[in-house]
Amino acid sequence: MSKGYVYFLTNFQRTTLYIGFTSNLARRIWEHKQGKGSEFNSKYKLTILVYAEEFDSIVDAIDREKQLKNWHKEWKWNLVKQHNPKLEDWYETLRG
C-alpha cells in the first residue's frame, strides 16, 4: 500500500486554508501551483504549502483529512503555526 499525505495550502496573504490528501505530495503541490487544483483552490489562489503530515497508507491520510476538515478554523491555523510559525512555503524542501 502506498504512503499518503495530508497537506495545507494557503494564499499569498495567508488568509485562507485548504486541506487535501494525496499519495504523491511533491507532484500534487506542483499541480496546485500550475493551477490544476480544485475550484476552491483556484478561486483563492492557494499555492503555498504551509503544513503536511505523512501516513503509512492513503486510507489513513483520507481519515485524517476528514478529521481536520471538521476542526474549527482557529484549530487548523494553530496546528499549522505550531509547526511552521512563519508560514513559509515548504514546497522547495520537497524538491530537495
CATH number, residue 30: 3.40.1440.10
Question: Once rounded to an integer, what is the mean pLDDT over residues 48-54?
Answer: 98
List the domain range (segments joined by +) for residue 40.
Answer: 4-95
Q: How many helices (H) and strands (E) does the chain have?
A: 5, 3
| Domains in the chain, number | 1
Give this prediction's pTM: 0.94
What local confidence, expressed as pLDDT, does residue 72 receive?
98
Q: How confident is the model at residue 42 (pLDDT cuts 50, 70, 90)?
A: confident
What local confidence, expressed as pLDDT, does residue 23 receive?
97
Residue 96, pLDDT above cutoff 70: no
Q: What is the percentage of the chain residues whose pLDDT exceeds 70?
A: 98
Element (H, E) at 7: strand 4-10
Give the residue from 57, 82, 52 showing the smallest Cα distance to 68.
52
Residue 1, pLDDT above cutoff 90: no
